[in-house]
Amino acid sequence: MATGYLWLKALHIIGVVCWFAGLFYLPRLFVYHSAATDAPGRERFKVMEAKLYRIIMRPSMLVSVVFGVWMLVLGWHGFAASGWLWVKLAGVLLLLGYHHYCGRLVRALAEDRNPHSERFYRIFNEAPALLLVLIVILVVVKPF
């Protein structure tokens, strides 16, 4: 494998790790925010959520996608017929949708519109972990 491709893979993995850190933490902040009963607490969560989304999640998602697509383009001839890759890409699309829905929730909570219960956020918080397990197994095991 060419050294340049390995650099792309390393940068992609770094982006994914940082992105998942945000995907795991932001919904947990939603849980705490929805449970907050005092105005200073809610304001603190608004700042934390906005900064996490804007400064950590958005850039790391872009790094993940850019380097992932770059690797995909370079290796397309070897990947195109791989069934596992298509399922992985579907998982990534779900993650992108989840990410953008989190952005909508950040905006709603910033406007004091909480569209969901604390229980919803607790369940919502589990989705990225399930997708991570699926994607890692697909990439490492390549079952089909």
Sequence ranges of the domains in the chain: 3-141
Summarize pLDDT for 49-76 with one digit per residue, the tens.
Answer: 999 999 999 999 999 999 999 999 999 9
Q: What is the mean pLDDT of the chain?
A: 96
Closest CA to 113 of 32, 57, 34: 34
Q: What is the pLDDT of residue 1?
A: 67
Question: Does the pLDDT value for residue 2 go beyond 90?
Answer: no
Q: What's the confidence (pLDDT) of residue 85?
A: 95
CA 108 remoteness from chain centre: 19
Residue 100: closest CA among 61, 132, 69, 70: 61
- What are the pLDDT digits (tens) for 16-36? 999 999 999 999 999 999 999
